[in-house]
Amino acid sequence: MMSSPITYSWRRLANADASSVDTPVGRSSHSLNIIGDRAYIFSGEREPRKPIDARLHIFDLVSQQWAGVIEPLAATAPTPRVGHATATLGDCIYLFGGRGGPEMSPMEADMFAFDATSGTWTKLQVNGDVPAPRSYHSMTASEHHVYLFGGCLEKGRANDLYRFSPENSTWERLPSNPDLPVRGGPGLAYLKDQVIVYGGFNGTELNDIWAFNIKTSTWERINPSESSDAPCPRSVAGFVALPAIGKVVTFMGEKDPSPTGHAGAGRYAKDVWILDIHSNATATWIHIPPADPSQLDAPTPRGWMTDAVWRGESIIMHGGYDGEKRDDGIFQLRFEGK
């Protein structure tokens, strides 16, 4: 039996309800994490360089209703910020970095954990090689650890990789690769014992792929097949490992930056790609067409949004900036075929 080609479709789940204080306004440079069937949205910006409050908004993905807000407690919760990064491990969300305060400078190098069971934030007491303060870095999680890569420092950009162990609240700096360019806004995903880096921005948009093997502690540059198409260079794009297909998905992102950064209107992609990494440091890009090219409720091309995998088979996306507005919609990206 022949397999059918993979296609994608978007499904709009909700917009913000202007009459309710429990729903988040449109925003970018924020975070979204999924635990069980609930999505948690934190901070970001509605206007350039003006962080939104530190309330944690909850969306029920089954009922498709906004399900409440966790109010911050000043002593234990992260302050408002933009360009922070998060990763989910078990029933906890781990948060590091971002920019905020009157000068919009990098936040202190604190690690926060939100426990979805108790509904509380904790400012962790950490040990080891703590990463320098930064923003527009990326984080992902394996079965037992959280990984952090790159981002924008107080001065310049970074290409360093760190591993955080929640068991003993310890940071470890992992081996670096001098050939890997520094960058902000990279994609980062964990799949099959590899931490995968894609794209980002270091003065120009990038589309290179690198993989760190957590068993051998070595880096490899992944070389896509020359016979296949590839996505254009981009940053602040969607980039997640999708367990249902055992591959990585990237979508949208900024392909041509504004001179004023995310305060201005750049050019954005709307395409969807699957990255199939092989065992010999090669890979194949697969361009995924829409099931319905004329779909009216599909999201506009954008960057600076946030996304997470739901139930291992679809992707939930919220917000982002399309050059005209910071969106308040929450969307589901679904795939069909094999």
DSSP letters for 267-278: EE---EEEEEE-
% of the chain at pLDDT higher than 90? 86
68-82, 172-186, 248-262, 319-333: least confident range = 248-262
pLDDT tens digits, one per residue of 99-132 = 998 788 888 999 999 999 999 999 999 999 999 9
Residue 20 has pLDDT above 80, yes or no: no
Asked if residue 58 lies in contact with residue 335, where contact means CB atoms within 8 angstroms, the answer is: no
Residue 19 has pLDDT above 70, yes or no: no
> What phi-psi label fits residue 36: left (phi over 0), alpha (psi between -120 and 50 degrees) or beta?
left
Distance CA 181, CA 2 (A): 42
pLDDT tens digits, one per residue of 40-73 = 999 999 999 999 999 999 999 999 999 999 999 8
pLDDT tens digits, one per residue of 239-265 = 999 999 999 999 999 999 877 765 666
Distance CA 51, CA 336 (A): 37
Distance CA 299, CA 40 (A): 20
DSSP class of 319? -
> What phi-psi label fits residue 267: left (phi over 0), alpha (psi between -120 and 50 degrees) or beta?
beta
> What six digits make up the tokens of 67?
């399900």
Asked if residue 159 lies in contact with residue 132, where contact means CB atoms within 8 angstroms, the answer is: no
> What six digits make up the tokens of 288?
């995924």
Residue 87 has pLDDT above 60, yes or no: yes
Sign of CA dihedral 16, 19, 23, 24: positive
Query: 125-147 burial, b if ≥16 CB within 10 A, otherwise e?
Result: ebeeebbebbbbbbbbbbeebbb
Residue 92 has pLDDT above 60, yes or no: yes
The predicted structure's pLDDT at residue 3: 60
Helix, strand, or coil (residue 118)? coil
Superfamily of chain region 7-336? Kelch-type beta propeller (2.120.10.80)
CB atoms within 10 A of CB 286: 16
Taking CA atoms, 281 is separated from 79, 135, 242, 286, 319, in Å, by 41, 29, 20, 17, 34
Average pLDDT, stretch 206-232? 95
Using CB atoms within 10 Å of the CB of residue 7, give its burial: 0 to 12 exposed, 13 to 18 middle, 19+ buried.
middle
The predicted structure's pLDDT at residue 263: 62
CB atoms within 10 A of CB 152: 22
Q: How far is CA 281 from the centre of its chain?
A: 24
The predicted structure's pLDDT at residue 126: 98
The predicted structure's pLDDT at residue 14: 84
The predicted structure's pLDDT at residue 1: 40
Angle at 54 between CA 129 and CA 265, to 5 degrees: 90
- Total residue count of the chain as it appears in this document: 338
The predicted structure's pLDDT at residue 226: 86
Asked if residue 316 lies in contact with residue 305, where contact means CB atoms within 8 angstroms, the answer is: no
Average pLDDT, stretch 5-10? 96
Average pLDDT, stretch 169-177? 98
At residue 261, φ and ψ (nearest 5 deg) are 70, -145
Residue of higher predicted confidence among 49 and 311: 311
The strand pairing partners of 205, in sequence order, are 201
CB atoms within 10 A of CB 122: 14
Average pLDDT, stretch 151-161? 97
